[in-house]
Amino acid sequence: MTPLLTANSLSLRAGSRTLCCDLSFSINTGERWGLLGKNGAGKTSLLHTLAGLRTPAAGDVLLGDQNLSTLSSAHIALHIGLLLQESVDALPSTVIETALLGRHPHARGRLFDNSEDLGLAYESLRQLGIESLASRAVTSLSGGERQRLALAMLLAQQPRLLLLDEPSNHLDLGFQTQLITLLLSQVGGKSEATTELSAPNHHTPKEAAVIMATHDINLAARVCDNIVLMVSDVETLVGSAEEILTEETLGR
């Protein structure tokens, strides 16, 4: 089976600084990946590269069997969704209008949202517990509410691969566990505690995958099957969570 996404011998640079060299791994449907590393290690840069927003210094990224560099942003957005650390802060729109932005890749030339788009947007707001805020201005929301809205927009997009950059940012501890359950229930894999939140049936567990950048090693151990650990500019480790999340490895 062709992997959903493949990184082939990637090297990333930020100005004169090397972030990683010769990094290769494949993400298959149904898998949960964790992306770990110190501040400034290049986690966000790697996610942006996997999303097609950044060109690697060397190597390439394949979406299925197609090179990401040959695909339009519209085509990529049908398959890959990216949650940024600060996704909706500057949007002068309402909550429902922002959630509907997630449906843009599916518009296919339509000038207006249809009933399916609106239904999926409202359902995503409901899943994140912010449906009652639908008519509110984004600028009036708290940091936690904005993060929930960003996640709702991502769910409305219905991507097959979710790239998450610190998804628990700005969320209180009580909602963080519910959030992870909501997102990862779309993927399958390690079991999570049942909560009142349940994910929209956008894709079955065999159809979606997730890679999540996080500083929370306990979170990664709890929910991830595989880990990319950015140790230094010349060393990035890839393997199962059991192989990577050891005292010896994390102490490097």
Identify whether 71 is part of a domain.
yes
Within a domain: residue 60? yes
pLDDT band at 13 (very low <50, low <70, confident <90, very high): very high
Residues 143, 113: one domain? yes
**Mean pLDDT in residue range 173-201:** 60
**Domain co-membership, 124 together with 163:** no
Give yes or no: residues 11 and 129 share one domain.
no
In the predicted model, is pLDDT for residue 130 greater than 70? yes
Residue whose entry in the numeric block shows the structure tokens 């959030």:
179
Domain boundary among 98, 123, 150: 150
Name the E strands within 93-135.
none
CA-based nearest residue to 102, from 53, 147, 158? 158
The answer as to whether 38 is a domain residue is yes
Phi, psi of 235 (to 5 degrees): -140, 115
101, 118, 150 - which closes a domain: 150
- Residue 84 located in a structural domain: no
- Structural domain includes residue 25: yes
**Does residue 181 share a domain with residue 58?**
yes
- pTM recorded for the entire structure: 0.88
Mean pLDDT score, 92-114: 85
Q: Model confidence over 37-95: pLDDT tens digits?
A: 999 999 999 999 999 999 999 999 999 999 999 999 999 999 999 999 876 766 679 99
| CATH number of 179's domain | 3.40.50.300
Q: Where does the pLDDT of residue 197 fall: very low under 50, low under 70, confident under 90, or very high at 90 and above?
A: very low
pLDDT tier at 153, thresholds 50, 70, 90: very high
Residues 175 and 240 occupy one common structural domain: yes
Cα torsion 157, 163, 169, 170 to 10°: value is -10
Task: Give SS3 for 193.
Answer: coil
Confidence grade of residue 186 (pLDDT, cut at 50, 70, 90)? confident
Are 47 and 172 contained in the same domain?
yes
Domain range for 120: 89-150
Q: Which pLDDT score is estimated for 90?
A: 62
Are residues 163 and 246 located together in one domain of the fold?
yes
- What pLDDT score was predicted for residue 176? 79
Instruction: Give residue-wise pLDDT tens across range 198-216.
Output: 444 445 444 799 999 999 8
Percent of the chain with pLDDT over 90: 64
Residues 114 and 168 in one domain: no
Find, among 172, 212, 168, 169, the residue nearest to 189 by Cα: 212
Q: How many domains, in total, are found in the chain? A: 2
Same domain, 75 and 181: yes
- Same domain, residue pair 41 and 16: yes
Tell me the pLDDT tens digit for each residue of 204-251.
444 799 999 999 898 899 889 999 999 988 899 999 999 999 988 888
Choice among 87-96, 100-109, 118-127 with the minimum mean pLDDT: 87-96
pLDDT band at 192 (very low <50, low <70, confident <90, very high): very low
- Are residue 164 and residue 245 in the same domain, yes or no? yes
Q: Domain end: 104, 128, 150, which one?
A: 150
75 and 166 both lie in a single domain? yes
What are the residues whose beta carbons fall under 8 Å from the beta carbon of 119, sequence distance 6 or more?
A: none
The pLDDT of residue 155 is 93
pLDDT given at position 112:
66
